[in-house]
Amino acid sequence: MATDIVIPTVGESVTSGVIAAWSKAEGEWVERDETVLELETDKITMEVPAPAAGVIKHAAAEGDEVDVGAVVGTIDETAAKPAGAAAAAPAQAEAGASAAAAPAPAAAVAAPPAAPATPADPAERAREMNGAATTTPPGEVRATPLARKLAQENGIDLKTVIGTGPSGRIREQDVLAAIRVPAGSGATPVAPAGPSRNISRKKMTPLRQKVASRLVEAQQTAAMLTTFNEVDMKPVMDLRKRHKEEFAETHGVGLGFMSFFVKASVSALKTFPMINSYIVANDDGAPAIESHDYQDIAIAVSSPKGLVVPVLRDCDQMSFADVEGTIKDFGKRAQDGKLGIDEMQGGTFTITNGGVFGSLLSTPILNPPQSAILGMHGIKNRAVEFPEKSGQIALRPMMYLALSYDHRIVDGAEAVRFLVHIKNAIENPERLLLAL
């Protein structure tokens, strides 16, 4: 009896995805609920579990685009289970639990030699268990086709990459991590072979395609305009300096700038509710304004596969520690591709921080169907009049703020006052505590 491996329903708006990697090779034994493949959609990367135990057969290749509901492989439940397979899964689970509980070893301790890759063919595994030599060539690196392609394009030697896939197989995420390793970290650089005029081309990921289409949609459908202001960050920086150690000890998370801007945005959205609204279509197709009495703020987060915008729900009910902890969690899971599709839907306003990448000024693009987005930027010491209206000049840590908004629903004066409200809240952080 063979059981089909079917692409599951991911979300209401997701109809297809790309097979990023098979976690189990053709002819390999798989246990029920064990991950068999990674599916990359235009919103998230998800793991597809095995519907039964048996020997796997692929019906689609890595890199293939497949529809929701499509059969991409089968599992032969009548196949004989190879010796040792039953003990392997519990042993691996126990090892994983021990690794999670134990502290990381010191950098000076040499790592144990990597375990040999598990042969994909059951017969080959049996020969290995009986002491026979395997057919795997010595020194061969196990890697997915996408990982090999990415490594070749970026000059990465796969022998220097640590694989995190099954049996140490190198996945796309592992190569991306190797690309990000800074010089001097111990990674072996690959010497260039000389000037190259090669041209490479690779297919855009579903996530990158979705981001591109949404950005074009925003520019084509909204009357987008941007207003700017600047904010003196000294009061917030002084507040953080006074309380950051106690805050971290009490809440287990650092006190950053983002929580101040989230709370300032909540205050401004309550004062200017049109900026917290959408333009939508009624049942008869006529345009209407959808208002929200809550503030669900999306936070733009960079991931290896593109920009994602997970949403902080009911921000007015969150503490500073809640905001900082949730954003930190979003950032970590975005890097690992573990954000859920429901976590990236339904935001009423967006904040993006280009300052972490060194941006001094930008005009952020709307995140449809939202009516506005706040752009934060780098903090630079600049000569400004301080104190205000004193005629004196002082160096202050200043940040440019940008608010892009849909002029169809938000008037210019309202947008300017909204940004001034945020400026006042950041320059006088006690206003946030007093709900002013």
Q: What is the pLDDT of residues 226-284, one digit of tens each?
A: 999 999 999 999 999 999 999 999 999 999 999 999 999 999 999 999 999 999 988 88
Per the DSSP assignment, residues forming a β-bridge with 45 are 40
Rounded CA gap, 341 and 5, in Å? Answer: 21
Q: What pLDDT, on the 0 to 100 scale, is given for residue 342?
A: 85
The answer to whether residue 377 is catalytic is no
Confidence of residue 122 (pLDDT cuts 50, 70, 90): very low
The sign one gets for the Cα dihedral 301, 303, 305, 310 is negative
Sheet of strand 29-30: strand arrangement = 2-6, 71-76, 54-58, 29-30
Peptide bond into 387 cis (omega under 30): yes
CB atoms within 10 A of CB 201: 5
Amino acid identity, position 58: H
Per-residue confidence (pLDDT) for residue 63, from 0 to 100: 82
Q: Are 398 and 381 contacting, i.e. CB atoms less than 8 angstroms apart?
A: yes
Q: Tell me how far apart the alpha carbons of residues 149 and 122 are, in angstroms, rounded to a whole number.
A: 27
Say which residue the tokens 């090892």 belong to: 95
Sequence-distant (≥ 6) Cβ neighbours of residue 213 within 8 angstroms: none
Mean pLDDT of the chain: 82
Give the DSSP H or E segment for 56. Answer: strand 54-58
Q: How far apart are CA 351 and CA 366, in angstroms?
A: 10
pLDDT in tens, 62-102: 888 888 889 999 999 888 887 665 444 444 444 444 444 44
Q: Over the stretch 374-399, which tens digit does the pLDDT of each residue have? A: 999 999 999 999 998 899 999 999 99
Q: Is 411 a catalytic residue?
A: yes
Three-state DSSP state, 132: coil
Query: For 204-209, what is the mean pLDDT?
Result: 74
What pLDDT is recorded for position 85? 59
Query: Could you give the 3-state DSSP secondary structure of residue 68?
Result: coil
How far apart CA 50 and CA 37 sit, in angstroms, is 9
* Residue 119, pLDDT score: 42
pLDDT value at 22 more than 70: yes
Give exposure, 8-24, as e/b (b: 16+ Cβ within 10 Å).
eebbeebebbbbbbbbb
CA distances from 166 to 5, 15, 334 (A): 18, 28, 21
pLDDT given at position 237: 96
Is the model's pLDDT at 131 over the cut of 70? no
Active-site residue identified among 33, 329, 411, 421 = 411
Report d(CA 349, CA 277) in Å as an integer.
Answer: 9
Q: What is the pTM of this model?
A: 0.63
User: Quick one: pLDDT band at residue 108, thresholds 50, 70, 90?
Assistant: very low
Per-residue pLDDT at 139: 57
CB atoms within 10 A of CB 421: 20
**Would the CA dihedral through 243, 249, 250, 252 be positive or negative?**
positive
pLDDT at 107 over 60: no
DSSP per-residue codes, 316-375: GG--HHHHHHHHHHHHHHHHHT---GGGGS--SEEEEEGGGGT-S---PPP-TT-SEEEE
118 pLDDT above the threshold of 50: no
Catalytic residue among 58, 251, 407, 421: 407
